[in-house]
Structure 1
Amino acid sequence: MIDGQKIKDTRKKLGISQQELAQGITTQGTVSLLERNSTSPRGDILAKIIARLNLKLEDVVVDNEVLTAQRYLDEADKLSMNNQYEQALASLKKIEKLTDKEQEAHYLFIKTNAIMWQTRDFEDALFGFNRILQMRNKQDDVFTVLATCELGVVYLERGELDKASFYFEQVPNLLTNINLDDNVFWSLFIWKSLTTYYYRMKDFDKCAEILTKAEEFSNRHLTPVFVDSLYYTNALVLHDKSGKWTKEAIGYLLKSWSFATFSDNKRNIKKTSDILTEIGYLPK
């Protein structure tokens, strides 16, 4: 297996971006997946990337428990993305041992988030997300941002809007401390939660601003991750601002339905299908 963390650490040490590393070799998205141990590129591509980083093959080819754990963590990420929480938890159970501190935070985040939505037990979720903040000890990393954001989600679901705002309003500043391009999946996850918050607070302008940023970011990275959810929220914002289903709002609703169908996100398929059926775009 390829040690994506070694590639990532070397790239950062050399001060080059994922896009610069990929230039003339492959796509930035492939480099991002490689660094997260989510893909094994063709041998010629890997050879060129390694050469550009002044590394040897033996420097990045490993087979150990860290990479095995990462494979299951990435699997759980993808399942959680489509609200398949039971399957995500099953993937986490395959992990026998965690020795990497970042992986420990990753594991706890996925587990806490999955159980929260599966059981609606928000009290335990508060404990889990606060535990991540203690583990990271105020480090400027993506799991600090994720835990802070999801504490806002918990309080939003509990109807405690002042507490929800306390956490959500910290998130934009926290995001400036991480490299969004190195955390494509999580950046879109966080923006999805933020847009839900601003929509629920009826701050449609702020919601639309983040939706535009997320859509541009998604297009730049050529990823469909959470696109169905973002398009759905965009459709709701346009509907609520105008008080009716405009052509533009319906367009986003249709795009949300299409992406949800493509990714087999059953929850979003149902939500968009119900509205499209009600307004006559799908047969009853």
Structure 2
Amino acid sequence: MDIQKFVARRKALKISQVKLSTGICTQATLSKFERRGRVPSLAILEQLCGRLGLTVDDLNESRDHSVTQVRAQLDEIERQLMMENYQPVLQALKQVQVAQIEAVPLKMQFYYLSGLLKSLINGAASDVCFDFDQILDDLDQSHETVFTPLAYVGLGVMYSRLAELEKAQFYFEKVHQAIEQLMAAVADQDYLRLLTMIFYTAEYYSMRADFATSNQLIDDGVNLCSSQHVTYYLPRLKYLAAANAIERQRPAAEIQQLLSEAVAFARINHNQVVEVKTAALRSRYLRASKRA
């Protein structure tokens, strides 16, 4: 991080540390940042930069490892993770040199993606916790960014897969609360991450046979997809809705409609994982129907 650019701008504008920090943080916090490179919370740093006409990204510009390049790389990894393309995600994350990433938001994005992937492929719990600890205990200590509830998602998934359901419940309840808050005013850049929270939380409540909560979350997800004109998550949401309908013994026509929609959206999004899972679910459903 180019702290000298920050200091030079402040001095060029003839703004004292006391004046710049007023209403944002203490003068001591600002002094530690300028003299020792101790970065305050992201929210504080953004406000300080804003008063100087800078952005946090301006302090992280580097010819060798540009913010724009890393952001594009991580965004593509995140898109692939939404599509459940785990092997390409695993390989792509290995190519990211996290030690060279200085931008706090990008570091959080990396650790979120790394931790969630490990949760989904049953990675070691210690490795999962290490990744999310970087967010919760260091990069977002004040828990002000979207990456805190995303870290809770990953921890909930991990404990759910370890069958430690009380711990999973603890985290998914936090995520559920965050979803309700974010749905009221979701930022344009965060709606896909909100969909990630919605899907995995709906999946968790489905596993716990709380179909009312699960279906409400699915409806929220479908409505969000519609309002934002995105389809990445629709195959998975429709698949989960079909699975819930089967468990609840809903009418056959309703179940077949949901299964057909899951397949249709999977094909539109080239999501072969959901297409295969839906075919298997339909086959199990038809066999069970014949036995009944």
Alpha-carbon separation, structure 1, partners of 2:181 and 2:120: 28
Specify every segment of 5 or more residues in structure 1 that has no aligned partner in the other structure, as ranges.
Answer: 1-58
Alpha-carbon separation, structure 2, partners of 1:163 and 1:279: 32
Contact 1:141 1:177 in 2 (8 A): no
Distance 1:173 1:138, change over 3 A: farther
1:102 aligns with 2:109: no
Q: CA RMSD in A?
A: 2.4
1:138 aligns with 2:139: no
SS where residue 248 of structure 2 aligns? helix
Contact 1:155 1:164 in 2 (8 A): yes
Alpha-carbon separation, structure 1, partners of 2:121 and 2:215: 29
Alpha-carbon separation, structure 2, partners of 1:181 and 1:251: 32
Contact 1:85 1:115 in 2 (8 A): no
Alignment of 1:130-169 (within 5 A): 130-134=133-137, 135-169=139-173
Contact 1:86 1:114 in 2 (8 A): no
Aligned pair partner of 2:273 in 248, 259, 267: 267
Specify every segment of 5 or more residues in structure 2 that has no aligned partner in the other structure, as ranges.
Answer: 1-57, 288-292
Alpha-carbon separation, structure 2, partners of 1:194 and 1:278: 24
| Corresponding residue for residue 72 of structure 1 | 73
Aligned pair partner of 2:239 in 229, 232, 235: 232
SS where residue 232 of structure 2 aligns? coil
Alpha-carbon separation, structure 1, partners of 2:125 and 2:271: 23
Higher-Rg structure is: 2
1:122 aligns with 2:125: yes
CA displacement 1:96-131 (0-9 Å, x = unmatched) = 431110100101111222233345433421332233
Contact 2:153 2:175 in 1 (8 A): yes
Counterpart of 2:114, as a letter, is: K
Contact 2:119 2:157 in 1 (8 A): no
SS where residue 139 of structure 1 aligns? coil
Alpha-carbon separation, structure 1, partners of 2:68 and 2:141: 24
| Corresponding residue for residue 222 of structure 1 | 229
- 1:149: how far off? 1.8
Aligned pair partner of 2:256 in 250, 254, 265: 250
Distance 1:117 1:279, change over 3 A: closer
How many pairs are equivalent? 220
Alpha-carbon separation, structure 1, partners of 2:87 and 2:244: 31
Provide TM-score, normalisation by structure 2.
0.69
- 1:94: how far off? 4.1
| Corresponding residue for residue 83 of structure 1 | 84
Alpha-carbon separation, structure 2, partners of 1:279 and 1:147: 34
1:184 aligns with 2:200: no
| Corresponding residue for residue 171 of structure 1 | 175
- Percent identity, aligned pairs only, is 22
Provide TM-score, normalisation by structure 1.
0.71
